[in-house]
Structures are given as C-alpha cells and as structure tokens.
Structure 1
Amino acid sequence: MEFLLLTEKCIWFGLGAAGFAVLFNVPPKTLIYIAFMGAMGGFLKAILMHFDETNVIISTLCGATLIGFLSIYFAHKTHCPPPVLAIPACIPMIPGKFAYKMMIGLVNLSGNIDHDTYTQIMSETVNNGLKVVFILMSIAGGVGIPLLITRKESSKGMRLRKRS
C-alpha cells in the first residue's frame, strides 16, 4: 500500500513539473525529461521523508540535488541548458503548505488575542516561515551546486564517457 502511495506522489510530481514546463514554454522535446526529473526528485524526497523520517529540508535538498545532476545529463541529450530542465522540475517541491500556514498565522497575529495564544501562534508562524526559507534555500542549492561543480565552460563542451 505504501508503495502505491509513493508511486502516486511520483506521478503527481512529474505531472506538476511537466505542467510548469509548459507554462515556461520550454522546447517540446524536453517535456518528457522534465517530467521524469520532477518525478524522480519528488520520489526521492517522499522516500526519504517516509521511510527514514528525514527532515523535510534535508529531503528536499537531496531531491533537488538529484534533479540538478539529472539536468546535466539530459542537457546533453536535448541540447538545452541545464537550468531550462532543472527549474520546472523543482517547482513542485516549493513549500506551499508551510507558506500558507505562515500567512494565516500572520493574519491571526493582527487580531486582538490574549498573550498565551499570541505566543503559540507566533511560535508556529516563525516555525513555518523558517521552514519556507530553508526549503527554498535547499532547492536553490540543490539545483545550483551540481551545475556549478560540473561546469567548466558549458555543459555542451563536457564529454561524458560512454560505456563499451
């Protein structure tokens, strides 16, 4: 049962990535690769969070790093820059739930509430806000670091070894 739920999440991550790729008007030949990268990055994030009970920030970093390395590989196949492939694939990992909870907390803080409730809402709001910031930083780092460490002049100039 758990495998089916994780597979469903994988499919939704892939479809979300492909949808954002269409919105960004990427070349049509890259859609399948973007959907695959989004699915694999989301699957890794879901696996790490589900089985190892890893922190959402660390699991997002791992998923985004996988997308970063896959984008370099698929850039050679599609003759597109790696960010064209990586950015739409990472967008489904953006923490909308935590950002929503943070904004609701900020709205609740603006009303007249007692001190104990204020302290609890403030704590939850700051917690959700920090999660949003660190998840966004992990997405940016996870996509950017593989592109920076593997880049010499451009991804087109890199040679990948073929196995015989």
Structure 2
Amino acid sequence: MEYFVLLEKCIWLGMAAIGFAVLFNVPSRALGYIGIMGALGGIVKVLFVHQDVSVILGTLFGATLIGFLGIPFAHKTNCPPPVLAIPAVIPMIPGKFAYKMMIGLINLSGDIDQATYIYIMSDTLNNGLKVMFILMSIAGGVGIPLLIARRDSAKGMHLKRKF
C-alpha cells in the first residue's frame, strides 16, 4: 500500500471523526484529539484489512486503540472519555455491509427461483453477521479500555449491609 494513499485515508478518517464530533456538539478544545484518535483507529483497521486479516479483528484493534487513547486525551481536555471515543469510532461503522444486507433482504422478498434464493440468503446472512460482529467489536473495543482504566472502581463503592 502506498504511503500517500495511507496518508489520504488517515486525513479523511480524522475529518470524519471531527465531523461527527461537531455534530454531537463536543467542546472545540477536544476536536483535534478526536481527529487524531479517529485517524489512528481507522488506519489500524485499514492496515489489518490490507494484510488480509479479518475486518472484524481489525475493527476490534482499531476501536481498542481509540478506547485507550481516549483516557489520556480526556485528562488533557477535561472531557469524559466516551465524549472523545464515540465520535472517533463512528467512521468505523460498517455501512457497506449493512447496505448489502438490506438489499439482500429486499431481494429475498421478491419472487425468485430456488438456486438464486439460496445464494442471496447466504450472502445476506454473511453480511448481517459481519455487521453484528463489527458492531460488537466497536462496542467492546471502546468499552473495555474505559472499564479497565477506570479510576474509582469497586474499591470506591460502599455497600450497605442489610443484616
């Protein structure tokens, strides 16, 4: 993969993350960090897909990087980590696979022969499962680092005894 193409994808992924951050009314002091997080997380996904690794695994590692980067950037910007991580991870949502799944569902509702039906059904199911696992990878990749690095975890809680 050429470095220019990689740099171009990096810029577009960062701009998309900044666009979603502006849409969600994130404080302006955090926009640069969100752009960096979106660009780095998306590039990790692109590099995994380019190396013929699963898109699901690439998305998991990209979202995990965004989750871990959100913690120090949150301290610098005085924003909660999800405010930074969620707009940065939105460009990784699998729109192409969801679109293909919906088109397949629409095609299945028509009057088609048995062989075509089986082909369309398997393709639709494949795309639907990819969408589901990519979305689970995004949720886990962003959520798990935030839970691991949480400052006041269970030791800060006070449980009341009822006996």
- 1:9 deviates by 1.0
- 1:89 deviates by 0.1
Equivalent runs, 1:38-117 vs 2, <5 Å: 38-50=38-50, 52-117=51-116
Show structure 1 runs of 4+ deviating over 3 A.
Answer: none
| Residue-pair matches, total | 153
Match in the other structure for 1:159: none
TM-score between both structures, scaled by the size of structure 1: 0.91
Match in the other structure for 2:144: 145
Structure (1 or 2) with the larger CA radius of gyration: 2
- 1:98 deviates by 0.2
Letter in 1 for 2:102: M
Match in the other structure for 1:8: 8
- 1:152 deviates by 2.5
Whole-angstrom distance in 2 between the partners of 1:149 and 1:96: 29
Runs of 5+ consecutive residues of structure 1 not aligned to the other structure: 155-164
TM-score between both structures, scaled by the size of structure 2: 0.92
Letter in 2 for 1:16: A
Match in the other structure for 2:134: 135
Provide, for residues 21-59 of structure 1, a one-character-per-residue CA deviation record: whole Å limited to 9, x for no partner: 000000000000000100000111111111x21100000
Aligned alpha-carbon RMSD (Å): 1.0
- 1:8 deviates by 1.1
Partner SS for 2:25 = coil
Whole-angstrom distance in 2 between the partners of 1:24 and 1:16: 12
Whole-angstrom distance in 2 between the partners of 1:104 and 1:34: 33
Match in the other structure for 1:23: 23
